[in-house]
Copies of this chain bind each other. A is one copy, B any other.
Amino acid sequence: MTPDKDAFEARLRQIGAERYHDRHPFHHLLHSGGCTPEQVRAWVINRYYYQASIPMKDAAFMSRVEDPALRRAWRSRIEDHDGTDENEGGIQRWLRLADAVGLDRDYVASTEGVLPATKFAVDAYVRFVRDKTLLEAVASSLTELFAPKIHAQRIEGLLQNYEFADDSSLSYFKNRLKEAPKDVAFGLAWVLDHADTAEKQDAAANALIFKTNVLWSQLDALYSAYVEPGRIPPGAWQPGTFETRQKVAS
């Protein structure tokens, strides 16, 4: 690795240190057990939209890749989310979490009560990957560099603080702990190799910043609607609806 690559990798990691959504107060609230059952449900409903969109994002990427080897390396991401004969996949695992927190899984899967701001942010991500250079598309996936830490914190925090949390309901996060490192090792090496000019390094860094904005905006919208000031926009999920039981012990 050339010194230049080292410096560039450090620059990318610094973006995560400053902007990744592990720094957002909603996650502190969630992991510390400070969320009400309704706030946990709102998070599950909204984050589902992100989970469900990721394989479309990856398909959009692959639709533009001419190199079969790169497509083959990328394909496992879609399998990880959509499932295979042997593996139910991340989307189904997320719906198990929806069951566990007392939500109607068909309602969650319909994405009807998702905050418009969540949809705008996630759709922007899918389109970014569809429209920008391959380098920017791969670079935007590098938030996974910072994901294992937050998933580990989340598993620990949820298990400690919420009765719904167990191996089954948290299987999404446990699986991501295994899947994300392999994906991101590939993605990081690819970006470090292909960002071979200062201009391309800037573009890749900006793509990663864009992606941190996509994640941060989702939590801001969730916080604004369900925590403080707690104003739910017209049409979004109202606590007390589409719940399979009244209370989730917390």
Contact = CB atoms under 8 A, between A and B. Distances in A.
A115 B214 CA distance: 11
Contacts of A120: 117, 120-121, 123-124, 214, 217
Contacts of A229: 223-224, 228-229
A216 B124 contact: no
B217 A233 contact: yes
A233 B19 CA distance: 9
Given A120-B120, A121-B117, A220 B233 contact: yes
Contacts of A19: 234-235
A209 interface: yes
Given A220-B231, A224-B223, A229-B228, A213 B116 contact: yes
Given A124-B124, A224-B224, A228-B228, A116 B216 contact: yes
A221 interface: yes
A224 B220 contact: yes
A156 to B, nearest CB: 25
Contacts of A233: 213, 216-217, 220
A212 interface: yes
Determine the interface band of chain A, counting residues with CB < 8 A from chain B: 20 to 34
Contacts of A25: 231
A23 B117 CA distance: 18
A6 interface: no
Nearest to A220: B224
Interface in A98-143: 116-117, 119-121, 123-124, 127
B217 A234 contact: no
Interface string A226-246: 001101011100000000000
A228 B127 CA distance: 30
| A217, A221, A228 — most chain B CB neighbours (10 Å) | A217
Interface of A: 18-19, 25, 116-117, 119-121, 123-124, 127, 209, 212-214, 216-217, 220-221, 223-225, 228-229, 231, 233-235
19 contacts: A18-B234, A117-B117, A117-B120, A117-B221, A120-B124, A120-B214, A120-B217, A123-B124, A213-B235, A216-B234, A217-B221, A217-B233, A220-B225, A220-B233, A221-B221, A221-B224, A223-B231, A224-B224, A228-B228
